[in-house]
Structure 1
Amino acid sequence: MFSTLREYHQAIASAIWMVILSIIPQDLVRLGAIFLGGVIFVCNIMDAMRPQNRMKKLQHRLQSLEAKLQDAVKSGIMCRSDTNFTAQIARNMGGIRYRTFELYEKTLLTSGGILQEIKAFWEGHSRDINECIEDVEALERDLEINHAKVLKDHYSSWRYWPN
Protein backbone atom coordinates (compact mmCIF):
# COMPACT_ATOMS: atom_id res chain seq x y z
CA MET A 1 0.00 0.00 0.00
CA PHE A 2 2.61 2.59 1.05
CA SER A 3 6.00 2.06 -0.50
CA THR A 4 7.91 4.16 2.02
CA LEU A 5 7.59 5.29 5.56
CA ARG A 6 7.51 8.87 4.32
CA GLU A 7 4.35 8.26 2.29
CA TYR A 8 2.81 6.63 5.34
CA HIS A 9 3.52 9.71 7.50
CA GLN A 10 2.22 11.98 4.77
CA ALA A 11 -1.01 9.99 4.61
CA ILE A 12 -1.44 10.21 8.39
CA ALA A 13 -0.70 13.95 8.37
CA SER A 14 -3.16 14.43 5.51
CA ALA A 15 -5.86 12.51 7.35
CA ILE A 16 -5.23 14.53 10.53
CA TRP A 17 -5.49 17.81 8.58
CA MET A 18 -8.72 16.63 6.96
CA VAL A 19 -10.18 15.90 10.40
CA ILE A 20 -9.00 19.25 11.79
CA LEU A 21 -10.34 21.20 8.82
CA SER A 22 -13.70 19.43 9.00
CA ILE A 23 -14.04 20.27 12.71
CA ILE A 24 -12.88 23.90 12.66
CA PRO A 25 -15.44 25.35 10.24
CA GLN A 26 -18.37 23.98 12.23
CA ASP A 27 -17.01 25.46 15.42
CA LEU A 28 -16.25 28.73 13.70
CA VAL A 29 -19.76 28.84 12.29
CA ARG A 30 -21.20 28.21 15.75
CA LEU A 31 -18.92 30.79 17.31
CA GLY A 32 -19.76 33.30 14.58
CA ALA A 33 -23.49 32.69 15.03
CA ILE A 34 -23.22 33.16 18.81
CA PHE A 35 -21.19 36.33 18.34
CA LEU A 36 -23.58 37.73 15.73
CA GLY A 37 -26.60 36.88 17.90
CA GLY A 38 -24.97 38.58 20.86
CA VAL A 39 -24.22 41.70 18.82
CA ILE A 40 -27.81 41.85 17.55
CA PHE A 41 -29.15 41.37 21.10
CA VAL A 42 -26.98 44.14 22.55
CA CYS A 43 -27.83 46.48 19.66
CA ASN A 44 -31.57 45.93 20.21
CA ILE A 45 -31.25 46.63 23.92
CA MET A 46 -29.19 49.76 23.26
CA ASP A 47 -31.72 50.96 20.67
CA ALA A 48 -34.62 50.39 23.05
CA MET A 49 -32.84 52.33 25.81
CA ARG A 50 -31.83 55.30 23.65
CA PRO A 51 -33.07 58.52 25.26
CA GLN A 52 -34.93 59.53 22.08
CA ASN A 53 -36.86 56.26 21.95
CA ARG A 54 -37.65 56.38 25.67
CA MET A 55 -38.81 60.00 25.28
CA LYS A 56 -41.21 58.99 22.50
CA LYS A 57 -42.69 56.33 24.80
CA LEU A 58 -43.01 58.88 27.63
CA GLN A 59 -44.81 61.36 25.38
CA HIS A 60 -47.15 58.64 24.12
CA ARG A 61 -47.99 57.51 27.69
CA LEU A 62 -48.53 61.12 28.80
CA GLN A 63 -50.92 61.73 25.90
CA SER A 64 -52.81 58.58 26.85
CA LEU A 65 -53.03 59.75 30.47
CA GLU A 66 -54.25 63.20 29.44
CA ALA A 67 -56.92 61.62 27.21
CA LYS A 68 -58.13 59.46 30.10
CA LEU A 69 -58.17 62.49 32.38
CA GLN A 70 -60.21 64.47 29.85
CA ASP A 71 -62.65 61.57 29.54
CA ALA A 72 -63.00 61.47 33.32
CA VAL A 73 -63.70 65.20 33.41
CA LYS A 74 -66.21 65.03 30.53
CA SER A 75 -68.06 62.07 32.03
CA GLY A 76 -68.32 63.79 35.41
CA ILE A 77 -66.16 61.27 37.25
CA MET A 78 -63.83 64.00 38.52
CA CYS A 79 -66.77 66.06 39.80
CA ARG A 80 -67.94 63.10 41.89
CA SER A 81 -64.42 62.34 43.13
CA ASP A 82 -62.95 63.33 46.44
CA THR A 83 -61.61 66.91 46.32
CA ASN A 84 -58.30 65.80 47.83
CA PHE A 85 -57.90 63.25 45.06
CA THR A 86 -58.72 65.84 42.40
CA ALA A 87 -56.16 68.26 43.86
CA GLN A 88 -53.57 65.49 44.06
CA ILE A 89 -54.17 64.54 40.41
CA ALA A 90 -53.81 68.17 39.29
CA ARG A 91 -50.61 68.59 41.31
CA ASN A 92 -49.10 65.35 40.03
CA MET A 93 -50.05 66.13 36.42
CA GLY A 94 -48.35 69.53 36.69
CA GLY A 95 -45.20 67.94 38.08
CA ILE A 96 -45.13 65.25 35.42
CA ARG A 97 -45.66 67.77 32.63
CA TYR A 98 -42.81 69.91 33.96
CA ARG A 99 -40.48 66.89 34.21
CA THR A 100 -41.48 65.79 30.72
CA PHE A 101 -40.59 69.16 29.22
CA GLU A 102 -37.35 69.17 31.19
CA LEU A 103 -36.44 65.69 29.97
CA TYR A 104 -37.46 66.57 26.41
CA GLU A 105 -35.17 69.61 26.47
CA LYS A 106 -32.27 67.45 27.67
CA THR A 107 -33.06 64.86 25.00
CA LEU A 108 -32.96 67.50 22.28
CA LEU A 109 -29.60 68.73 23.58
CA THR A 110 -28.16 65.21 23.35
CA SER A 111 -29.59 64.36 19.93
CA GLY A 112 -26.48 65.55 18.07
CA GLY A 113 -25.15 62.06 17.45
CA ILE A 114 -24.85 58.54 18.71
CA LEU A 115 -21.88 59.36 20.94
CA GLN A 116 -23.85 62.08 22.72
CA GLU A 117 -26.74 59.68 23.17
CA ILE A 118 -24.44 57.02 24.62
CA LYS A 119 -22.99 59.63 26.98
CA ALA A 120 -26.51 60.70 28.03
CA PHE A 121 -27.45 57.05 28.55
CA TRP A 122 -24.44 56.45 30.81
CA GLU A 123 -25.21 59.64 32.74
CA GLY A 124 -28.66 58.23 33.57
CA HIS A 125 -30.89 60.19 31.21
CA SER A 126 -32.75 57.07 30.07
CA ARG A 127 -33.18 56.06 33.71
CA ASP A 128 -34.72 59.46 34.49
CA ILE A 129 -37.11 59.06 31.56
CA ASN A 130 -38.03 55.56 32.75
CA GLU A 131 -38.79 56.90 36.23
CA CYS A 132 -41.07 59.52 34.70
CA ILE A 133 -42.81 56.81 32.64
CA GLU A 134 -43.36 54.85 35.87
CA ASP A 135 -44.85 57.95 37.49
CA VAL A 136 -47.21 58.41 34.54
CA GLU A 137 -48.25 54.76 34.77
CA ALA A 138 -48.84 55.07 38.54
CA LEU A 139 -50.97 58.18 38.05
CA GLU A 140 -52.90 56.44 35.29
CA ARG A 141 -53.48 53.49 37.61
CA ASP A 142 -54.70 55.83 40.38
CA LEU A 143 -57.07 57.50 37.93
CA GLU A 144 -58.47 54.12 36.85
CA ILE A 145 -58.92 53.00 40.47
CA ASN A 146 -60.74 56.24 41.28
CA HIS A 147 -62.90 55.80 38.18
CA ALA A 148 -63.90 52.31 39.28
CA LYS A 149 -64.52 53.47 42.86
CA VAL A 150 -66.79 56.34 41.76
CA LEU A 151 -68.76 54.07 39.42
CA LYS A 152 -69.08 51.44 42.15
CA ASP A 153 -70.43 54.07 44.54
CA HIS A 154 -72.79 55.35 41.86
CA TYR A 155 -74.25 51.88 41.25
CA SER A 156 -74.15 50.72 44.87
CA SER A 157 -77.93 50.92 45.09
CA TRP A 158 -78.12 48.18 42.45
CA ARG A 159 -76.05 45.85 44.61
CA TYR A 160 -78.99 43.68 45.59
CA TRP A 161 -80.85 43.81 42.30
CA PRO A 162 -83.22 40.83 42.10
CA ASN A 163 -82.61 38.39 39.32
Structure 2
Amino acid sequence: MFSTLQEYHQAIISAAWMIILSLIPQDLVRAGAILFGFLICVHAMRPRTLMKTLQLRLSSLEEKLQDAVDSGIMRQSDTIFTNQFTRDIGRIRYTIFELYERMLMTSGGIFQEVKAVWEGLSLKINQCIRDVDDLERDLEINRAKILKNRYHLWK
Protein backbone atom coordinates (compact mmCIF):
# COMPACT_ATOMS: atom_id res chain seq x y z
CA MET A 1 0.00 0.00 0.00
CA PHE A 2 2.66 2.55 1.00
CA SER A 3 5.89 2.26 -0.93
CA THR A 4 8.03 4.35 1.43
CA LEU A 5 8.11 5.32 5.04
CA GLN A 6 7.73 8.99 4.03
CA GLU A 7 4.40 8.29 2.29
CA TYR A 8 3.25 6.46 5.41
CA HIS A 9 4.08 9.51 7.58
CA GLN A 10 2.35 11.82 5.09
CA ALA A 11 -0.79 9.68 5.27
CA ILE A 12 -0.76 9.77 9.07
CA ILE A 13 -0.30 13.53 9.13
CA SER A 14 -3.11 14.04 6.59
CA ALA A 15 -5.44 11.81 8.58
CA ALA A 16 -4.58 13.68 11.80
CA TRP A 17 -5.36 17.04 10.14
CA MET A 18 -8.65 15.71 8.83
CA ILE A 19 -9.64 14.59 12.33
CA ILE A 20 -8.56 17.89 13.90
CA LEU A 21 -10.42 19.96 11.31
CA SER A 22 -13.54 17.82 11.64
CA LEU A 23 -13.58 18.53 15.39
CA ILE A 24 -13.59 22.32 14.94
CA PRO A 25 -17.18 23.56 14.86
CA GLN A 26 -18.19 25.35 11.65
CA ASP A 27 -19.40 28.37 13.61
CA LEU A 28 -15.92 28.84 15.01
CA VAL A 29 -14.49 28.77 11.49
CA ARG A 30 -17.05 31.35 10.35
CA ALA A 31 -16.33 33.56 13.36
CA GLY A 32 -12.61 33.35 12.62
CA ALA A 33 -13.20 34.29 8.98
CA ILE A 34 -15.34 37.27 10.01
CA LEU A 35 -12.70 38.41 12.50
CA PHE A 36 -9.97 38.04 9.89
CA GLY A 37 -12.00 40.08 7.38
CA PHE A 38 -12.66 42.74 10.00
CA LEU A 39 -8.94 43.01 10.76
CA ILE A 40 -8.14 43.41 7.07
CA CYS A 41 -10.74 46.19 6.74
CA VAL A 42 -9.46 47.95 9.85
CA HIS A 43 -5.91 47.80 8.56
CA ALA A 44 -7.00 49.35 5.25
CA MET A 45 -8.90 52.07 7.10
CA ARG A 46 -6.15 52.82 9.63
CA PRO A 47 -5.75 56.58 9.99
CA ARG A 48 -1.95 56.22 9.86
CA THR A 49 -2.11 54.42 6.49
CA LEU A 50 -4.58 56.92 5.05
CA MET A 51 -2.53 59.84 6.32
CA LYS A 52 0.50 58.59 4.38
CA THR A 53 -1.64 58.41 1.25
CA LEU A 54 -2.92 61.93 1.88
CA GLN A 55 0.58 63.30 2.31
CA LEU A 56 1.71 61.63 -0.92
CA ARG A 57 -1.23 63.11 -2.82
CA LEU A 58 -0.53 66.56 -1.37
CA SER A 59 3.13 66.29 -2.40
CA SER A 60 2.04 65.39 -5.92
CA LEU A 61 -0.28 68.41 -6.01
CA GLU A 62 2.47 70.70 -4.77
CA GLU A 63 4.87 69.40 -7.45
CA LYS A 64 2.28 70.09 -10.15
CA LEU A 65 1.63 73.52 -8.69
CA GLN A 66 5.36 74.30 -8.68
CA ASP A 67 5.58 73.11 -12.29
CA ALA A 68 2.65 75.37 -13.20
CA VAL A 69 4.33 78.33 -11.51
CA ASP A 70 7.71 77.60 -13.15
CA SER A 71 6.18 77.27 -16.61
CA GLY A 72 4.19 80.50 -16.23
CA ILE A 73 0.77 78.81 -16.24
CA MET A 74 -0.28 80.37 -12.93
CA ARG A 75 0.81 83.82 -14.10
CA GLN A 76 -1.44 83.45 -17.15
CA SER A 77 -4.38 82.16 -15.09
CA ASP A 78 -7.23 84.47 -14.33
CA THR A 79 -7.20 86.02 -10.87
CA ILE A 80 -10.45 84.33 -9.85
CA PHE A 81 -8.94 80.88 -10.39
CA THR A 82 -5.67 81.83 -8.67
CA ASN A 83 -7.43 83.30 -5.62
CA GLN A 84 -9.82 80.35 -5.33
CA PHE A 85 -6.95 77.87 -5.72
CA THR A 86 -4.93 79.67 -3.03
CA ARG A 87 -7.89 79.59 -0.62
CA ASP A 88 -8.60 75.92 -1.35
CA ILE A 89 -5.03 74.76 -0.89
CA GLY A 90 -4.75 76.77 2.34
CA ARG A 91 -7.97 75.20 3.64
CA ILE A 92 -6.73 71.73 2.73
CA ARG A 93 -3.37 72.29 4.44
CA TYR A 94 -5.13 73.45 7.60
CA THR A 95 -7.41 70.39 7.49
CA ILE A 96 -4.40 68.12 7.02
CA PHE A 97 -2.71 69.59 10.10
CA GLU A 98 -5.90 69.03 12.13
CA LEU A 99 -6.21 65.45 10.89
CA TYR A 100 -2.53 64.79 11.50
CA GLU A 101 -2.87 66.03 15.07
CA ARG A 102 -5.90 63.78 15.65
CA MET A 103 -4.06 60.84 14.09
CA LEU A 104 -1.10 61.36 16.43
CA MET A 105 -3.44 61.27 19.41
CA THR A 106 -4.58 57.78 18.37
CA SER A 107 -1.09 56.33 18.15
CA GLY A 108 -1.41 54.57 21.51
CA GLY A 109 -2.46 51.22 20.11
CA ILE A 110 -4.76 49.28 17.88
CA PHE A 111 -7.81 49.85 20.08
CA GLN A 112 -7.37 53.62 19.91
CA GLU A 113 -7.06 53.36 16.13
CA VAL A 114 -10.23 51.28 15.92
CA LYS A 115 -11.94 53.90 18.09
CA ALA A 116 -10.69 56.65 15.76
CA VAL A 117 -12.03 54.75 12.74
CA TRP A 118 -15.36 54.33 14.57
CA GLU A 119 -15.46 58.07 15.33
CA GLY A 120 -14.98 58.91 11.64
CA LEU A 121 -11.34 59.99 11.43
CA SER A 122 -10.69 57.71 8.45
CA LEU A 123 -13.74 59.09 6.64
CA LYS A 124 -12.49 62.64 7.16
CA ILE A 125 -9.03 61.71 5.88
CA ASN A 126 -10.62 60.05 2.83
CA GLN A 127 -12.68 63.19 2.21
CA CYS A 128 -9.52 65.29 2.38
CA ILE A 129 -7.85 62.92 -0.12
CA ARG A 130 -10.80 63.47 -2.48
CA ASP A 131 -10.50 67.25 -1.98
CA VAL A 132 -6.80 67.12 -2.91
CA ASP A 133 -7.65 65.03 -5.98
CA ASP A 134 -10.34 67.53 -7.01
CA LEU A 135 -7.95 70.43 -6.59
CA GLU A 136 -5.32 68.61 -8.65
CA ARG A 137 -7.90 67.98 -11.36
CA ASP A 138 -8.86 71.69 -11.37
CA LEU A 139 -5.21 72.64 -11.73
CA GLU A 140 -4.79 70.26 -14.67
CA ILE A 141 -7.94 71.59 -16.35
CA ASN A 142 -6.71 75.16 -15.96
CA ARG A 143 -3.30 74.15 -17.32
CA ALA A 144 -4.92 72.51 -20.35
CA LYS A 145 -7.07 75.59 -21.05
CA ILE A 146 -4.10 77.94 -20.93
CA LEU A 147 -1.95 75.69 -23.12
CA LYS A 148 -4.82 75.34 -25.60
CA ASN A 149 -5.19 79.13 -25.74
CA ARG A 150 -1.43 79.56 -26.10
CA TYR A 151 -1.22 77.17 -29.04
CA HIS A 152 -4.50 78.39 -30.52
CA LEU A 153 -2.73 81.61 -31.44
CA TRP A 154 -0.39 79.60 -33.69
CA LYS A 155 -3.22 78.45 -35.94
TM-score (norm 1): 0.75
Instruction: Indicate how the Cα distance of structure 1 residues 123 and 154 shifts in structure 2: closer, same or farther if over 3 A, else same.
Output: same
Q: 2 CA distance for matches of 1:33 and 1:77?
A: 59
Q: 2 CA distance for matches of 1:156 and 1:40?
A: 57
From 130, 134, 139, the equivalent of 1:134 is 130
What is the aligned partner in structure 1 of residue 56 from structure 2? 60
Matched, 1:123 2:119: yes
Q: 1 CA distance for matches of 2:101 and 2:133?
A: 21
Structure 1 unaligned residues grouped into runs of 5+: 1-21
Q: 2 CA distance for matches of 1:118 and 1:102?
A: 19
SS in 2 for 1:112: coil
The offset of 1:81, in angstroms, is: 0.7
Matched, 1:50 2:46: yes
One-letter identity of the residue aligned with 1:63: S
The offset of 1:33, in angstroms, is: 7.0
Aligned residue runs from structure 1 range 9-158, under 5 A: 37-158=33-154
RMSD: 2.4
The structure with the largest alpha-carbon Rg is: 1
SS in 2 for 1:102: helix
What is the aligned partner in structure 2 of residue 19 from structure 1? none
Q: 1 CA distance for matches of 2:152 and 2:27?
A: 65
Q: 1 CA distance for matches of 2:29 and 2:140?
A: 46
Q: 2 CA distance for matches of 1:154 and 1:60?
A: 31
SS in 1 for 2:153: helix
- Residues 22-46 of structure 1: CA deviation (Å, up to 9, x unaligned): 9xx67x7987776655444332221
The count of residues paired between Structure 1 and Structure 2 equals 137
SS in 2 for 1:94: helix
Q: 2 CA distance for matches of 1:119 and 1:39?
A: 16
